[in-house]
Amino acid sequence: MELSGIASYLISFLTFAGVYAVLALGLNMQWGFTGQFNIGIAGFFAVGAYTSAILTTPSSPAYLGGFGMPFLVGLAGAVIASTLLGVIVGLITARLRTDYLAIASIGIAEMVRLFVKNEDWLTNGVRGIAGIERPFADTLLDSPLTYLVIVALFVAGVYFLVERAYASPWGRVLRAIRENEPATAAAGKSIAGFRLQAFVLGSAIMGLGGGLYAHFFGFLSPEAFMPLYGTFLVWVMLIAGGSGNNRGAILGAVLVWGVWSGTELLTGMLPSEHATQGAALRVLLIGVLLQVILVTRPEGVLPEKPPRLIARKR
């Protein structure tokens, strides 16, 4: 492969890793901080991606939309839509055990997928939405590298915000809920309230990830998401990187995305009649990787390091 080929592969690799890092940071807010088990990531991701796509694409007779709005408006729409979804799911599940959230969230992801697939008027159904433009389209700045910089800026911004949240008194309550719910309730904190806030914030971040993905990939269809694998990859990223640790979430996103794309290169060498087996083999490998991490190093590569609670005496 010539140098420019390697460079463009690297840029696309890092952009994907960046989008996944945003998702992993969103999940870290829910699972890493608060202990909320969301396996409907694909649902929030899809809502964000489709909202941004519908707001920004030029008008089309096939589906609703064609508002032709700018990139940032699309992203804002993505965040608002996934926030609303997060509020609905959060209100239902905030006062229940986390197993119920897990079941409800997988239901939400499934409902979103069914809706996207069957409501042609809104999403163009299985034919998908094409021609989602990158920001600065038709200008000198339009290049994959520019988009990588934009994604990197968003990752940095989200990282800064969640890191501040983690260290704040608010984040401390979340960790307290995760570690010992009855004690936190006894200290007079509203468990359901804090859970709802963390869940909605995490969902909003996931919606942002969806929007960033839509403008990078340029095409959306119900199957292009690989809904379940998307959710699953984000989970493996967070657990491998170190749940509770924001830098771990970003590192995990890069590492696991590296493993995932690396296996794609390997299975790409298989003859084409074994293509579906190759895809299954990749999922199998990632699944085994998760189990090995859970058994041998459940705290991840970068374990959580909570900030000092009390200032040390001089």
Partner 1 sequence: MTDILQLLIYGLVLGSVLTMGAIGVSMIFGILRFAHFAHGDFMTLGAYLGLSFISAFGLSSWWALPAAMVGMAVIAVFIDQVLYRRIRRTQPVILLIASFGMALILRSLVQLIWGSDNQTYASGIQFPWQLDWLGGMRLKPDHLWIMLISLGLVAGVHLFLTRTRLGKAMRAMSDNMDLALVSGIPAERVIMVTWVIGGALAGAAGVFLGIDTRLHPVMGWTTLLPVFAAAILGGIGRPYGAIAGGMIIGVSMEMSTLLIPAAYKPAVAFAIMVGMLILRPQGIFKGTV
Q: Is 234 in the site for partner 1 (CB under 8 A)?
A: no
Residue 51: closest CA among 205, 202, 158, 207: 207
Nearer to partner 1, 55 or 108 (CB): 108
Instruction: Sketch the per residue contact string, 100 through 119, with partner 1: x for CB under 8 A, - otherwise.
Output: x-xxx-xx--xx--x--xx-
Task: Verify binding: residue 185, partner 1, rule CB under 8 A.
Answer: no
286 lies in the site for partner 1, by CB under 8 A: yes
> Which of 189, 176, 195, 184 lies closest to 92 in space, CA to CA?
195
3-27 and 227-241 helices, crossing angle to 10°: 80
CA 155, CA 79: separation in Å to the nearest integer? 15
DSSP bridge partners of 67? 58
Binding segment (CB under 8 A) for partner 1, from list 8-16, 58-66, 141-149, 292-300: 292-300
Stretch that binds partner 1, among 62-70, 91-99, 150-158, 169-177 (CB under 8 A): 91-99
37 binds partner 1 (CB under 8 A): yes
Element (H, E) at 31: none
- Using CB under 8 A as the binding rule, whether residue 94 contacts partner 1 is answered as no
Buried b (16+ CB within 10 A) or exposed e, 197-235: bbbbbbbbbbbbbbbbbbbbbeebbbeebebbebbbbbb
Evaluate whether 222 touches 113 at the Cβ level (below 8 Å): yes
The DSSP 8-state label assigned to residue 61 in this structure reads S
Q: Which is nearer to partner 1, 142 or 299 (CB)?
A: 299
Does 23 bind partner 1 (CB under 8 A)? Our answer is: no
Minimum CB separation from partner 1 for residue 177, in Å? 13
- Tokens 């401390």 appear where? 172
List residues near partner 1 by CB under 8 A: 35, 37, 39, 92-93, 96-100, 102-104, 106-107, 110-111, 114, 117-118, 228-229, 232, 235-236, 239, 276-277, 279-284, 286-288, 290-291, 294-295, 298
